Amino acid sequence: MASRMVTIAVIVIVLVIGFAGGYMYSSLTSQPTTKTVVFTTPVEHRYTETETVTLTSIETLTTFLPTELSVTQTVTQTFYSTFTKEMATTITYTVVGTVTKTVAQATQIVLSYPSKPSAELDLNGDGVTDLFAEVNPWNLNSYKGVQQMVIDLIKREFRTEINITDANPRQWTNGYPEIYIGRKPWGGRYANGFGVPFPMKISNMTPFTISFYICVERIDPSMPFNIAADAWIVRESVALKPATAPAKGDVEIMVWVYRQNLSPAGRKVGEVTIPIVINGTRTNATFEVWRHDSVEWGGWQYIAFAPKGWGVKCGQIAYDPTLFVQTAKNYATFNITDYYLLDWEIGTEWGTMSSNGAAMIEWVIRDFVAVPGATI
């Protein structure tokens, strides 16, 4: 494991460079690209060939002439006539032609709930899914207003706007618009384009670093809200069977970096210090650890790391998720050493409980990257 790890000094330098220039995943493929489409079109051609033929018609006329001796005499006369006739022949044949067209790929995708709530993205055009994006109002039955995420593929920017009223039900958490790598338990496909090898068994998990810029540009100050990562640590039976829901015996963890009018579910069970990088500076950040032993809607255990005495509402953030997973082992009420980490999600939980059924937020994430084998 040590041979694969990037030293602290190197990764901090890389991260600082990344903060200045969009981290280390930009490439020419971020420019508008074209796609060549080749197709064949059957074309039918017809022409008519006309041939003039001379025909001769021979007609014979036989006349019987009576004589005085009652002997019949036969007289034969032959008539010849010539005429021409046009004989037309139509020949049909097929020509296959190849036409090449250059089609400009879309540079923007708009997700909107409920018409188009999610997208699977290949950011560098190599044919491998890099991440998923979702609007994800998972705890909202009805509302009035707009929920959308606008994805700029050139800037690698995800801009989310929530502006609703009359939320039903009013909850501390109604939704979690997000981007993520790996696979949620309910999903059937992995987004492993950044090279992080999900699913990762906890007992031989290798480090990786994620980095992203996030900024909350507009928000109703009365509503519940956070900026948080979410991830799933599950039993082998769930990890190796896609589209299997988590249940009792599995673990959901969250890493919050900002909160407003909101606390994690369960109760506080401890405090820890874990290094993260904020705007290019490595910081030993203090987190409260909260645990809910069994969530009401699924039975799994929930562990959250919430910032104590600090928060990042707008800025560049980087950390090694495996440091939080290893720490969660100390707070889970059962052994998760042989479990699997399925994914890593970045988004914002929002609710309407303290804001009279309304929510108004606009935030942006850009320059997201995951670097396998690197730690801070």
244-301 pLDDT tens trace: 999 999 999 999 999 999 999 999 999 999 999 999 999 999 999 999 999 999 999 9
101 in any annotated domain:
no
d(CA 313, CA 101): 46
pLDDT in tens, 130-150: 999 999 999 999 999 999 999
18 and 54, same domain (yes or no):
no
38 in any annotated domain:
no
154 in any annotated domain:
yes
211 in any annotated domain:
yes
Predicted local distance difference test score (pLDDT) of residue 97? 54
The answer to whether 165 and 95 are in contact (CB under 8 A) is no
Closest CA to 238 of 186, 182, 178: 186
70 and 157, same domain (yes or no):
no
342 in any annotated domain:
yes
Predicted local distance difference test score (pLDDT) of residue 106? 76
78 and 210, same domain (yes or no):
no
Q: What Cα–Cα distance (Å) separates residue 341 from each residue in 197, 284, 352, 376? A: 10, 24, 31, 20
185 and 334, same domain (yes or no):
yes
Give φ, ψ of 275 to 5 degrees. Answer: -75, 135
List, in order, residues 6 or more apart from 225 with CB less than 8 Å away. 216, 219, 259, 260, 261, 262, 348, 349, 350, 351, 361
The answer to whether 256 and 307 are in contact (CB under 8 A) is yes
Q: Which residues of the chain have pLDDT under 70?
A: 1-105
207 and 58, same domain (yes or no):
no
302 and 180, same domain (yes or no):
yes
Closest CA to 328 of 336, 319, 318, 340: 336
Predicted local distance difference test score (pLDDT) of residue 83? 46
CATH of the domain at 126: 2.60.120.180
87 in any annotated domain:
yes
Predicted local distance difference test score (pLDDT) of residue 99? 52
99 in any annotated domain:
no
The pTM is what? 0.75
In total, how many domains does the chain have? 2
Predicted local distance difference test score (pLDDT) of residue 104? 57
236 and 317, same domain (yes or no):
yes
192 and 88, same domain (yes or no):
no
172 and 320, same domain (yes or no):
yes
292 and 338, same domain (yes or no):
yes
Predicted local distance difference test score (pLDDT) of residue 31? 39
Predicted local distance difference test score (pLDDT) of residue 101? 53
Predicted local distance difference test score (pLDDT) of residue 280? 97
315 and 180, same domain (yes or no):
yes
100 in any annotated domain:
no
139 and 60, same domain (yes or no):
no
Structural domain of residue 242, as residue ranges?
2-33+106-372
d(CA 279, CA 174): 30
